[in-house]
Amino acid sequence: MNLRKTDIAIVGAGIVGLAHAYLAARSGRSVAVFERNPAANGASVRNFGMIWPIGQPAGKLHETALRSRQIWVEVLEQAKVPFLATGSLHVAYREDEAAVGREFNDKARTLGYECAWLNAQETLERSRAIRPEGLLGALWSPTELTVDPRQVVRSLPAFLTERYGVQFFFNTAVHGVDSSVVETADGRWEAESIIVASGDDFQSLFPEHFRQKELTRCKLQMMRTVAQPQGWELGPSLAFGLTFKHYPTFQVCTSLRALKERIERETPEFERWGIHVMVSQNRSGELTIGDSHEYGLAVDIFDKSVVNRLILDYARQYLRAPSLEIAEYWHGVYAKHPGHAYMDFSPVKGVRVVTVTTGIGMTMSFGIAEQTLQETGVAA
């Protein structure tokens, strides 16, 4: 079988593979991307499309998220893919939620975040989508972006091919990778450097290495509304009190403990299904609402209506939109590690496996890719 050559070979055309492809190609390298499906259909098309630096804890992860955001804007502008630079609001209706928001705001500048605590009136001035009854205020952050993940995953390959000559091979599963060789059913490729960005597939390539990494999977249930009437805008992406508990960012707040205890006491069903509620809007006007978190290597293929109902009932309490009629339900899966936000290991010389191991791969992809490629000497 013929042997073809490329500087960089990438397995997986999800956002992590695409981010590596962009940065390697921008550095002048020839790049070939192999995707086993007709188009990527994993976590990268199933998410909120939130580029969410506020979710990253202070320090290296937050810095990587901000750098990643910068590269996102650069690539989206070049590729002419629309995005919304709306920022975000963590909205508080209970005193314990407001306490965390205020405490975080007091610490935010020192920790490197650009936040502001808004009172109820100021919150309503930022967003028409928030119910005023019982509103105490919100933590405003200007750094969050929203993209339509389906559009990104569809458009970036075409842009990368046109602008940088990146070659994409869809419907092409990689069944073997060794130092400088990628094997597919259609032939072998020789590459100076190989990036494996296979998402939550721990079985096809280097299963023996993945097995040692304590990885599991996380399943999330999601939904999307019909398009809102033209002219109605969500404004900032929204998170509510439950989200303070979800992201490690807020663990610096001593007030978080009381909030956690109250949620566990009052609403154990949220604990059981790992529910916290976030809302984003795409350019077509549809609202994406989620999510839940169920852990385990075996992902339940059957979605639970009880979970969707809990998410939607919670959203309805605080969100006012012209229509919350749901047009689509789905679930997505990402790789999960108990301690690491992402993993990057080299099973054999010349090969890097890059796996984001919590629900932050959209936010972090370009930042992580830059680091990987710098470390391997592929990009400056």
Ligand X SMILES: Cc1cc2nc3c(=O)[nH]c(=O)nc-3n(C[C@H](O)[C@H](O)[C@H](O)COP(=O)(O)OP(=O)(O)OC[C@H]3O[C@@H](n4cnc5c(N)ncnc54)[C@H](O)[C@@H]3O)c2cc1C
Residues contributing to the site for ligand X (CB under 6 A): 11-17, 34-37, 40, 42-44, 46-50, 52, 173-174, 197-201, 204-205, 220, 222, 290-291, 332-334, 356, 359-363
Cα→Cα distances 17→70, 251, 263, Å = 18, 31, 37
Which C-beta is closer to ligand X: that of 201 or that of 344? Answer: 201
Question: Least Å distance between CB 67 and ligand X?
Answer: 14
Cα separation, 207 vs 211, in Å, equals 6
Which C-beta is closer to ligand X: that of 46 or that of 352? Answer: 46
The two tokens of residue 167 are 């070659």
Question: Least Å distance between CB 180 and ligand X?
Answer: 17
Question: Least Å distance between CB 268 and ligand X?
Answer: 23
Identify which of 161, 219, 220 has the alpha carbon closest to the alpha carbon of residue 13.
161
Which C-beta is closer to ligand X: that of 58 or that of 124? Answer: 58
Which C-beta is closer to ligand X: that of 356 or that of 373? Answer: 356
- Residue 153 host element (H or E): helix 149-164
DSSP, res 252: G
Question: Least Å distance between CB 342 and ligand X?
Answer: 8
Cα→Cα distances 295→131, 209, 239, 272, 335, Å = 32, 21, 22, 11, 10
Q: Are strands 326-336 and 167-169 parallel, antiparallel or unpaired?
A: unpaired
Which C-beta is closer to ligand X: that of 210 or that of 334? Answer: 334
Cα→Cα distances 77→70, 73, 80, 84, 361, Å = 11, 6, 5, 12, 20
Which C-beta is closer to ligand X: that of 121 or that of 284? Answer: 284
Question: Least Å distance between CB 200 and ligand X?
Answer: 6
The two tokens of residue 204 are 């096809």
**Can you tell me which residue has the tokens 């919350």?**
324
Cα separation, 380 vs 374, in Å, equals 6
Question: Least Å distance between CB 146 and ligand X?
Answer: 8
